[in-house]
Chains A and B, each alone.
Chain A
Amino acid sequence: MGVLVADTLVGPKVDWFALSPLLVLLGGAMVLLVVASLTPPWPKRLYATFTAAVAFAAFVLCFPLWHRIDVDGPSTLVGNAMHFDQMALWVTITISVAVFLGSLLTDDYLRREGIDGPEIYALFLLAAIGGIVMGSANDLVVLFLGLEILSIALYVLAASHRKRLQSQESGLKYFVLGGFSSAIFLYGIALVYGGTGSTNFDRMLDALAANVPAQKGDDAILLAGVALLLVGLAFKVAAVPFHFWTPDVYEGAPTPVTAFMASAAKAAAFAAMLRVLLQALPNFADDYRPVVWALAVITVIGGSVMAVVQTNVKRMLAFSSISHAGFMLVGVEAASHLGTDNDGRSSTLLYTLIYAVLVMGTFGVVTAVGRTGDNATDLAGFRGLGRTRPVLAFAMTVLLLAQAGVPLTSGFVAKFGVIRAAVVEHSYAVAIIAMVASVIAAFLYLRIMISMWIADPEAGDDQREPVRTPAYLTVAIALSVAFTLVVGFFPDWLVALAP
């Protein structure tokens, strides 16, 4: 209505260097999409090497930025839309590592399966951007943008094994259910916007501080919004009872993609959950804390119990990832005790990073054992691996023990962190339930180990295609195992670093 004054329209100041990890990933994706489509197929391994290099560059860039925050303190970027803090960088590091390892896993997989082309790598990089945006958002709409960038890339990735029917099914299922959950999340945003007049975290806080709705008894719309946001996020982290997509999608998707979903997507979703719950809606902590508590309990128990009855290792690991999500929720629950100085947030973030590396290695072994066609992922496929490929079986054993939370592995450090955070807040019940559930889950890891080391060979085992571990896959598994053990023995540096 007023006079449109065009010459005063100034774009927000952009701190390009602070955005450099995102820009590097974006540039890499563009190069893959544009350049690779104009040039003949690149030589063997070059797509994967390029993607890994891009991810590594993003990873390296985080360190000067980390130092800058150490010196100058955290700030926000692009007109208050994104956070520039160590948590954002931690998510960036986690996701870059996942892309790095994921592209190493994917390289030989694609050649083995006869799928070509750079688009999968480009989608990895785009998904990474989405995940990082989710983890750095200071605005619900920005967060939603990140969520969609990540999700759409994942839908396509899940369906990217064109010759495998389960992969198509996986992609479609994920798309339908994911779209549904995005809609719920979006509706939640709309309701919260209706209640506060803004989608920006800071202004939401201001609005809630100026006009405390609970005192007036008119916070129904806000509470409904909070509930819907929580449902949307619980879907993304695969918390029970919003987990139904997980086993089918994990089983059907190409194994490296499954690994990427379990590591990067989970890390991003948890970062987003922490942002929304702790930074946007701290006023409602007392309302959502019991919900998170209940989610954590049924997720650890549900994931563990359902995992043990599976016979397909990919499905087992899908349920085990649900159980791990439950553990991370224990950390979130602890973090939602605001006001006290607890390690809930940092232990959850520590868990996401450790689990991301762990699950990459685990699925790396599954990638190898899946053999051509990616179908030999039931327990029988692992039978006798200890005899035929002892080193690979040993690597898998270390990774599984870490997932079970055996000491001197990174998995124990992760579990110890969240349980400690819960105990600080006197949430003894949830801590004990989670630990006992992890015993149930341990049974599943034992089953895989029994299959590898102890089970008697059966007729026809010799006729199976031998398990091959090409160079890149080996590197990825070795890095994952090395990280698992190093952090297991010397966790202090990583624990101290977690924001």
Chain B
Amino acid sequence: MTDFPILTLLVLVPAVGALVVALVSNRQPDLVKVTALLTSILTGGMALWTLFAFEKSEAGFQFVSQHSWIESWGISWHLGVDGISLFLVVLTGILFPLVIAGVDPHHDHKRYLAWMLLLEAGVMGSFVSLDLFLFFVFFEIVLVPMYFLIGGWGYDQRIYAATKFFLFTMVGSAFMLVGIIATALIAKADDGAVTFDLVKIAENAEFAASTGRWLFFAFAIAFAVKVPLFPLHTWLPDAHTQAPTGGSVILAGVLLKLGTYGLLRFGVYLFPEAAVWARPVFLTLATIGVLWGAVAATMQTDLKRLVAYSSVAHLGFIVLGTFALTSQAITGGVMQNINHGISTGALFLLVGMIYERRHTREIAKLKGLQKVAPVFAAAFMIVMLSSIGVPGLNGFVGEFLVLIGSFGTARWWVVIAAVGVILAALYLLWAYQRVFHGEPDDDNRSFAELKWKEGMLLLPFIAIIVFAGVYPKAMLDRIEPSVDKLLEHVQEHSSWVAPEAQSNEGGEG
């Protein structure tokens, strides 16, 4: 089982699919769609297979495959998943076929689908890479398809938004590339040969405190842009709002997770001492992000932009959990990655459906939709409640774990950030009230009810929302061992002592 290069296939299948789609003649639009859909379903199937074959008690990396790639520079094709990345891989595998099947780009299907599949390959690669160079390659390559998706199929301001997205992320990457090279070369002194292997560097190298902090900074800036952390978040509302629906779903669902995942995997794991040292900065920025995102979301007049700002708030919460550095908070943060991907992805789909019907996203122009489309409203309500974090739905579990886990180590930050949770209820419920309640006026009276196809598209999202809310143990059992191992690594390599993390855990399981 472990010999089967499942992760390599997870990366290669969509990449090859993209190539095939690009080569199919324009005169066969159906063949293009079927190829793309089958490719993404196959990838999703493999991702699910990984989930079921995953050994849940095992904390280390699984399904590891390693081949030399650029030997002269000590770079290898090294892939593996652990509990932290497992569900991100699964999320990616699930979201792409849904988006490809359910969202119509309206024009140039072939190019759109080719970029989508290439994007999937890039995202998959980023989540399973265990080599710094390889990770950078995927991290950067993701920009290109996303750029073309926003630029080619987005709304009015798409060129501005796409360019801003590309350049912002690239500035962060510029620092990270130098950081990656420096990390590998400085780690060499202890080890003899230069390697870009994440695990080898993290386990063997001891960086001097000041060196480690600089290197951590170089990585962190790239991820802070990607997350995005306040004040580097300004690209996000533009990119999200201008992207086509499919692009927004992917952007919110998985692309932002590259940032939070990166902070954990390449920040905390690689430079524990520096991460502990930089805690106050990140906790503060995350807390500001939570409040800022919430306040900004409250004030939006565009429904899509509102959802985009809510992402800033949610992601801030995840970063808060990450840097609280307790088992519960990090586990909650990892889970919240998935929750946010599902619920915000679904929200973007719903907003996209509203736009398809009304050709506007202005909250002021929408009214009383609940009367004319009750099922649609119900779906929106469930997804929205999940995003708010109502108990019984998935959002609650992650948020609660972050709150409770952070209380011991980051008390005042989390107390302030908790206000954001209340604000989330405020802006989302208020938006719901304005859009769905009341008597529909003439423009909104013809608003069509949820179609079968749309319902089928939303069903998996709602199923996951409910399942993860009712039975989070399935996820937590797989995430926790890896998180604990990471935390042990942090305690071993820094002065950090995670308070009572171990004792709390018994009561919770």
Contact = CB atoms under 8 A, between A and B. Distances in A.
Contacts of A455: 159
B177 A492 contact: no
B163 A443 contact: yes
B141 A408 contact: yes
B72 A423 contact: no
A454 B112 CA distance: 13
Interface stretch (B146-154, B481-489, B499-507): B146-154
A455 B72 CA distance: 42
Given A435-B175, A438-B174, A453-B151, A419 B166 contact: no
Interface string B68-104: 0111110000000000000000000000000000000
A17 interface: no
B137 A407 contact: yes
A407 B69 CA distance: 14
A212 B334 CA distance: 64
Given A406-B141, A453-B151, A420 B73 contact: yes
B103 to A, nearest CB: 19
B193 to A, nearest CB: 14
B168 to A, nearest CB: 9
Interface in A398-430: 401, 406-408, 412, 416, 419-420, 423-424, 428
Nearest to B166: A446
Contacts of B136: 407
B362 interface: no
Nearest to B138: A407
B206 interface: no
B181 interface: yes
Interface residues of A, number: 28
Contacts of A453: 148, 151-152
A276 B292 CA distance: 57
A459 to B, nearest CB: 20
A142 interface: no
B278 interface: no
Interface in B173-217: 173-175, 177-178, 181-182, 185
Nearest to B174: A435
B70, B143, B178 interface centre (most CB from chain A within 10 Å): B178
Given A432-B175, A453-B148, A492 B170 contact: no
B305 interface: no
Contact of B171 (A401, A420, A439): A439
A435 B175 CA distance: 7
A454 B163 CA distance: 12
Given A407-B137, A443-B163, A443-B167, A491 B70 contact: yes
B158 interface: yes
B72 A496 contact: yes
Given A439-B167, A439-B174, A423 B143 contact: no
A60 interface: no
B302 interface: no
B159 A423 contact: no
Contact of B140 (A407, A423, A492): A407
B421 to A, nearest CB: 36
A413 B470 CA distance: 49
B167 A492 contact: no
A438 B178 CA distance: 13
Contacts of B34: none
Contact of A446 (B69, B163, B175, B177): B163
B24 to A, nearest CB: 13
B177 A416 contact: yes
A450 interface: yes
Contact of B144 (A406, A416, A428, A439): A406
A305 to B, nearest CB: 14
B141 to A, nearest CB: 5
A431 interface: yes
B185 A454 contact: no
B144 A401 contact: yes
B151 A450 contact: yes
A210 B166 CA distance: 56
Contacts of A428: 178, 182
B99 to A, nearest CB: 21
Contacts of A412: 137, 140
14 contacts: A406-B140, A412-B140, A416-B177, A423-B185, A432-B174, A439-B171, A439-B174, A442-B166, A442-B170, A450-B159, A454-B152, A492-B71, A492-B72, A495-B70
The 5 closest A-B pairs by CB, nearest first: A435-B174, A407-B137, A439-B170, A495-B72, A423-B181
Interface of B: 69-73, 136-138, 140-141, 143-144, 147-148, 151-152, 158-159, 162-163, 166-167, 170-171, 173-175, 177-178, 181-182, 185
Given A412-B140, A420-B181, A495-B70, 17 more contacts: A401-B144, A406-B143, A408-B137, A412-B137, A420-B73, A420-B185, A424-B185, A432-B175, A435-B173, A435-B175, A446-B163, A450-B159, A450-B163, A454-B151, A492-B70, A492-B72, A496-B72
